[in-house]
Chains A and B, each alone.
Chain A
Amino acid sequence: MSTQKFGFTRSAVALTLAAASAWLGSTPAHADDTLDRIKERKRVVIGVVVSGGPFGAIDPATQQLTGFNPEVARGLAQGLGTDVELVAVLPSNRIQYLQQKRVDLLVASMEWTEERAAQLTFAPTPYYRNGGAAIFRKDSGITRWEDLAGKPVCLSQGSNYGKPLTEQYGAQLKGFRGASESLLALRGGNCVAAVHDGTLIYRLVEDDAEWKGYAAPFDELIPSPSVVWVRPGEKDTAQAVDRVIQGWHRDGWLIATEKSVGISRPSAALVELQGAARAQAPLPQWAQK
């Protein structure tokens, strides 16, 4: 009796471990069931980051997600010919949402990096370019990125700016759940600077009266292409998404959307991508992986 019980326990452990390793994203057995599932259900679930501002926010009146990321997500669903369900994710948990199949795609201001490309699959044509900007008090005496060495710098947990900040500039990182907490911590004096996507920071120093004592004058940190991410190995889904994005670069939909959601600094990257798409040339240098 007791051996039987032991046998059962062992197989339970093996099952748990097998489930765990599958969940960890080891290569799935079937090539790409996500695209099949999307087509079958006529519905795609997309994770978007809504950290406020024209790139993604929640409309307080209607509770609808608005801004560039949600618009791109809706456009993708339209291009795929399906309905869309948007899920608000955070930089700290977006990869888990994707891996646990709670979302099919991520349109989450998530730039291409080598580490991410090693664990996830992506649609190779970028839909935007994003780099990090440092915001700090004008009277802080900081004049270049190197001045952040040894000083506390606030950012979001899961931000890809952490690596260059520590390895290149030797900053001391303080990771918060999201950009809003990090920015409040900056104002509370818990760090000398906060580093987030330039798209978020420039809007604050340009149009926000609350931030008039602050500046963000540096060149962008690791400007990288924003791409749409899918689960590892799901090449068919990535390809279907990529075709839609290529179409946008040809017909200028992204540039029009950028304008319609009220992004104040038009992205030079989108113009370059449009030029390349129309001339049927390869992607610009910065967008190649």
Chain B
Amino acid sequence: MIDAVFAPVVAFFKPLGLNYAFLLDAMDRQAFWRGMGVTLELCLLVIPCSLAAGVLIAAALTSGRTWLALPTRAFVEVTRNTPTLVQLYCAFLVLNMLITQQLHQYGANPLTPLMWVVIVVSLHKGVFHAEALRAGIEAVPRVTLEAARSLGFSRRQLLWRVELPLAVRFALPSLINNLVDLVKMTAVASAIAVGDVTYESIMIWTQRDNVLELLLLILLYFGLLTWFVSVVGRWLETRLRMPGYGQ
């Protein structure tokens, strides 16, 4: 039944020199489909996790407490200045191995490769979110903060009710920019055999040699996902727009 749908598609691309015959093979087709699902799942996990990490890091950076701000600053610099792939390899191949060895007597290591991707990518991008938010926090007018303090706002209330709502609005374009990058960054999962769309494609093309065809599909899929993120971003920008700020 499904073959009947894909056969004309395969036949259409054949004269163009594009061999999509893998669509007629149930195993390969399911693998690719599963890969698309895993990529979507990764995006849905990594976007909220990275934003949460970003808020925490930004709060620590702007807290004004040296014992908190200084180590966080060091973490930001290290994370920002090393490649994601290297971080992922270090975390998954080195850290994970050490954890497994430590836990060997107690049983299996509960951390899956997918969790490592979510942790590493969220922290990596969280740092960039934090810098964007910090710019937003520092752009909040001093008089606004003084007014809030004079109304008896505590430090936490100040952050949650005054600084962050304004900071998010200031930082929104760069946050959306980061999220678009984040969606693309999930492709590093393929390096540690998490079955995202890139990984499944690699596994298919090493057997079938249809690199160009699969890369076109991956391109299209990521293009769709990032387009969706930017549409949501634009909608948020108009929705959160405040008269009198940046207009």
A interface residues (Cβ-Cβ under 8 A, vs B):
17-18, 20-21, 23-26, 91-92, 95-96, 115, 119, 154, 157-159, 162-163, 173-177, 181, 184-185, 187-190
Contact = CB atoms under 8 A, between A and B. Distances in A.
Nearest to B213: A24
Given A175-B203, A176-B192, A188-B100, 12 more contacts: A17-B16, A157-B203, A157-B206, A175-B202, A181-B89, A181-B93, A185-B93, A188-B92, A188-B97, A188-B109, A189-B100, A189-B108
A24 B192 contact: no
B17 interface: yes
Contact of B191 (A115, A162, A177): A177
Which of B18, B89, B192 counts the most A-chain CB atoms under 10 A from its CB? B192
A92 B211 CA distance: 11
Contacts of B202: 92, 157-158, 175
A184 B97 contact: yes
Nearest to A22: B17
B233 interface: no
B199 A175 contact: yes
Contacts of A115: 207
A194 B207 CA distance: 19
A92 B206 CA distance: 7
Interface string B91-107: 01110110011001000
Nearest to A120: B209
Given A176-B193, A185-B193, A188-B100, A21 B93 contact: no
Contacts, number: 72
Contact of B211 (A96, A181, A185, A190): A96
B113 interface: yes
Interface of B: 16-19, 89, 92-94, 96-97, 100-101, 104, 108-109, 113, 191-193, 199, 202-203, 206-207, 209, 211-212
A173 B203 contact: yes
Contacts of B109: 188-189
What secondary structure prevails in chain B residues at the interface with A? helix
Given A17-B17, A23-B212, A189-B108, A158 B93 contact: no
A268 B181 CA distance: 53
A188 B192 CA distance: 12
Contact of A185 (B18, B104, B192, B203): B192
Contacts of B211: 96
B234 to A, nearest CB: 29
A190 B207 contact: no
A154 B193 CA distance: 9
Contacts of A23: 212
Contacts of A175: 193, 199, 202-203, 206
23 contacts: A17-B18, A20-B18, A21-B16, A23-B212, A24-B17, A115-B207, A119-B209, A157-B203, A162-B203, A173-B203, A175-B193, A175-B203, A176-B191, A176-B192, A185-B92, A185-B93, A185-B193, A187-B97, A188-B93, A188-B97, A188-B109, A189-B97, A190-B193
A12 B18 CA distance: 17
A184 B96 CA distance: 10
